[in-house]
Structure 1
């Protein structure tokens, strides 16, 4: 049976939404909530909700937040055998300060615990990797990412990676051989390639030239670019009423991977991923609890006439 092993961040998310426009240097009235997040954890939950078996390899603190996070994963049916407890660090925490319209005003991250995800963790995972697709985020230390990419290259494993941020994308090696699918945004691509002038299609071509087999390059409200050796396709974003933008990229990744596991070509899979992203920004939580393949497919057919199939820069 198809399975996705997600390797990387698992965190507690705290969201503070401004009751008025967030202004720096002063006190801002907000409403707050706690949930569970982290790129790899969110991708794993989305994959599970889309009906595909998944497991998470990560690290959490031996604290109330970490234990609650583990219990939530088990409730969702996600295999947690490779989530370890740190004896020294607290569970990772991400704080999002949101404008009233849901756009991110400030993001704060305490992710020091992920430095403990060492190559030794990969070696413990190795026996069960042959039958699974791998997804990892760049919260992993550079040494661990390099070893994972080397392992995928040697064993011909399907490895998808998410850049996470402009600083963290620099943890990737210059040679992307072994990376089956790379998810990143245009800013991350330009920083990684050290070519700030590149247009989206040019950035995607350059990433393929570095060795990535397939690339999904996101462009926010302008949609995304899906690129593989057969060509480059621009896919427009679906119209969405933003409630909270947190988690949209994670939903896009999960839906794209699940569709590709069902043998969809990259562009078709990424189009379904764009639907998942649109549905997620319309939700007040980072992972929609009603997410399903049926919801994605029905939404795609309902909204297909709202957005042109292609949108040029």
Structure 2
């Protein structure tokens, strides 16, 4: 497909994961190992889209510390143009997680306060305003303040530029609520969807509930349970095929979003979007990294052949 100009505004930070080797012993020293890489929902999706051949610009905030250099190196490796705002007296945002031997989360600490400085008025800076106005697609994530997301979505709608957002977490996805009518898609996991839809809403009814709130389209990943993707009142579902070897599930949801966006930009139907999203997520979970840097069109095509057909829901 023809490369598109994609602008991603959102999280690009340091992602630290510690894995305990044996049984977890709370309140005690546990043998294990640390792993550090660049992360962030928006940045993970940005890198995947760049590896698929798109012209991607990532806009975020950074501190004057080694964390910023880590993000810059990850952008350079994957061909992403990294722009944004640097605060030399601050630390780059970070997410630090401790995992059990089987990958389940023990505890995590998100040091994300710097994203609060990505205010709506920064969208008016000339270089950023021009970058956004020339985009074919805009992607944000819920790491940003709600006002910033709403302003970005309103501007995208005014310029007839399609825009999507990634939910990030149950606590942060509520920041998207004011922007739902202006967004083309929201990508979320099951916990985020339950937060947004309300506990009284069954999974099958989530697309209808979100449609009532003005959201035209979206997708919900549910681990190994069937994912949902809908657009303009039509919903498809697809159960992901089993994976023999799991490297790390970190970044799988962001890869799902990238795969769906790529198919959307190629004019694909929602059935194609969910198939390609599933294929790219499957590649990602087999990698130890949040972004499988071996991603290319050929690998995606090979994985797509292993993904079953989507089922249309009534």
Q: 1:247 aligns with which of 241, 251, 255?
A: 251
The residue aligned with 2:280 is 276
Report what 1:291 is aligned to.
295
Alignment of 1:185-224 (within 5 A): 185-193=189-197, 195-224=198-227
Of residues 46, 55, 59, the one that matches 1:44 is: 46
Structure 2 counterpart of 1:59: 61
Q: Deviations over 1:200-257 (max 9, x none)?
A: 2211111122111211111111131011125111111121132211111111111111
Partner of residue 142, structure 1: 146
Q: Whole-Å Cα distance in 1 between the matches of residues 309 and 202 of structure 2? A: 20
Asked whether the equivalents of residues 238 and 275 of structure 1 are also in contact (C-alpha less than 8 Å), the reply is no
Structure 1: runs of 5+ lacking an equivalent: none
Residue 172 (1) aligns with residue 176 (2): yes
Distance 1:109 1:25 in 2: 21
2:14 to 12, 15, 18: 12
Deviation at 1:129, TM superposition (A): 2.1
Shift in alpha-carbon separation, 1:104–1:273, aligned structure 2, 3 A: farther
Instruction: Show CA shifts across 1:53-105 (max 9, x none).
Output: 1010000101122133223313432112x322113420111112222233433
The question of whether the paired residues in 2 share the 8 Å contact of 1:251 and 1:280 is answered with yes
Say whether the 8 Å CA contact 2:98–2:108 is kept in structure 1: yes
Structure 1 SS opposite 2:230: strand
The CA distance in 1 between the partners of 2:114 and 2:227, in whole Å, is 32
Mapped partners of 2:283, 2:241: distance in 1: 9
After superposition, the C-alpha distances for 1:175-220 in whole angstroms (9 at most, x for unaligned) are 6211011111232222223x20322221111112211121111111
Cα 1:75–1:284 shift into 2, 3 Å:
closer
- The answer (yes or no) to whether the contact 1:221–1:237 under 8 Å persists in 2 is yes
SS in 2 for 1:9: coil
Change (3 A) 1:308 1:176: closer
After TM superposition, the structure 1 stretch with the greater mean CA deviation from structure 2, 97-106 or 11-20, is: 97-106
Give me the whole-angstrom Cα distance separating, in 1, the residues matched to 2:264 and 2:106.
34
Number of positions where the alignment pairs a residue of Structure 1 with one of Structure 2: 307
Pair 1:257 & 2:261 matched: yes
Q: Is the 8 A contact 1:103 1:244 kept in 2?
A: no
- Alignment partner, residue 97 of structure 1: 98
Q: Quick one: distance in 1 between partners of 2:214 and 2:229?
A: 15
Q: Secondary structure at the match of 2:275?
A: helix
- Corresponding residue for 2:229? 226
1:269: Cα distance to partner?
1.4
Give, in angstroms, the shift of residue 174 of structure 1.
4.3
Aligned residue in 1 for 2:73: 71
**1:72 and 1:282, CA in 2 relative to 1: closer, same or farther beyond 3 A?**
closer
Q: Is this contact kept in 1: 2:16–2:96, CA < 8 A?
A: yes
2:156 aligned with 1:155: no
Structure 2 unaligned spans of 5+: none
Question: After superposition, where does 1:95-134 map in structure 2 within 5 Å?
Answer: 95-124=96-125, 125-132=128-135, 133-134=137-138
Contact kept, 8 Å, 2:236 with 2:310, in 1: the verdict is no
CA contact (8 A) 1:204 1:217 kept: no
**Alpha carbons of 1:279 and 1:56: their partners in 2 closer, same or farther (altered >3 Å)?**
same
Aligned to 1:238: 241
What residue in structure 1 maps to residue 88 of structure 2? 87
Find the aligned partners of 1:161 and 1:243 in 2 and give their Cα distance.
26
Q: SS of 1:225's equivalent?
A: strand
TM-score between both structures, scaled by the size of structure 1? 0.91
